[in-house]
Amino acid sequence: MADVARSEDEASLRDLIEHCAELKGELVEFAQSARFDRWLTPLLLEAAGPERLLDEGAAIRIIDNFILRYRLPDGATVVDRFVAGRRALSEADRELLLGWRDPVEGVFEIQRKDGDAVVLLNLVDDLEYRTYSNIGRAAFRGVSKGGFLLACLVPVHPADGVWLVSGAMSSYPKTSATEIAQAALQLATTHPELVFRNPEKIEQGWKSMREDRAAFIEFCGSDELLLPPAEAEERLNAYYRHRQEAAAERPDRARGAAFPAFELPQTLADSDTIGVIYDEVDGLNFYADYGMLRDLFADPALSGRKQHQDLLRAYLREESIAPLPIRRLAATHPETVDTVFRNLLRKPGFTWTEHGDDLLRRRKPRYYATEPRPGVSVIGERLSELTAGGRRPKLTRARRIPRRPDHQ
pLDDT surpasses 90 at 4: no
Paired strand residues for 97: none
CA–CA distance, 330 with 343 (Å, rounded to integer):
15
Longest Cα separation, the chain: 83
CA distance 73 to 75: 5
pLDDT given at position 3: 45
pLDDT mean across residues, the chain: 87
**Full-model pTM:** 0.73
Q: What is the mean pLDDT of residues 89-118?
A: 93
- In this predicted model, what pLDDT tens digit does every residue of 265-317 receive, in sequence order? 888 888 999 999 999 999 999 999 999 999 999 998 998 899 999 999 999 99
Cα distance between the two ends of the chain: 61
Domain boundary assignment for the chain: 2-99, 104-193, 201-369
- Phi/psi for 131 (5° steps) reads -125, 135
* Cβ neighbours of 116 (radius 10 Å): 17
Three-state SS at 304: helix
Q: Is the pLDDT of residue 46 over 50?
A: yes
Q: How confident is the model at residue 109 (pLDDT cuts 50, 70, 90)?
A: very high
- Region 34-56: what's the mean pLDDT? 91
- Specify whether the CB–CB gap between 311 and 289 falls below 8 A: yes
Task: Give exposure, 228-267, as e/b (b: 16+ Cβ within 10 Å).
Answer: ebeebbebbeebbeebeeeeeeeeeebebbeeeebebeee
Name the CA dihedral angle for 126, 132, 138, 141, rounded to a multiple of 10 degrees.
Answer: 20
Which residues have C-beta within 8 Å of that of residue 218, sequence separation ≥ 6?
A: none
Note whether 324 and 361 are within 8 A (CB): no
More confident: 47 or 396? 47
Higher pLDDT, 249 or 287: 287
Give me the mean pLDDT over the 96-106 stretch: 93
The model's pLDDT over 128-156, given as tens digits with 9 standing for 90+, comes to: 999 999 888 888 988 899 999 999 999 99
Determine what percent of the chain falls in helix, strand and coil, rounding each to the nearest 5. 55, 15, 30
In the CATH hierarchy, which fold is given to the domain comprising 104-193? OB fold (Dihydrolipoamide Acetyltransferase, E2P) (2.40.50)
- Write down the pLDDT at residue 19: 93
The bridge status of strand 148-155 relative to strand 128-132 is: unpaired
Question: Any idea which of 52-66, 118-132, 164-178, 384-398 has the lowest mean pLDDT?
Answer: 384-398
> 10 pLDDT exceeds 80?
no
Give yes or no for a cis peptide into 372 (omega within 30° of 0): no
Confidence of residue 249 (pLDDT cuts 50, 70, 90): low
For residue 399, the model assigns a pLDDT of 38
For a pLDDT cut of 70, what percent of the chain falls above it? 89
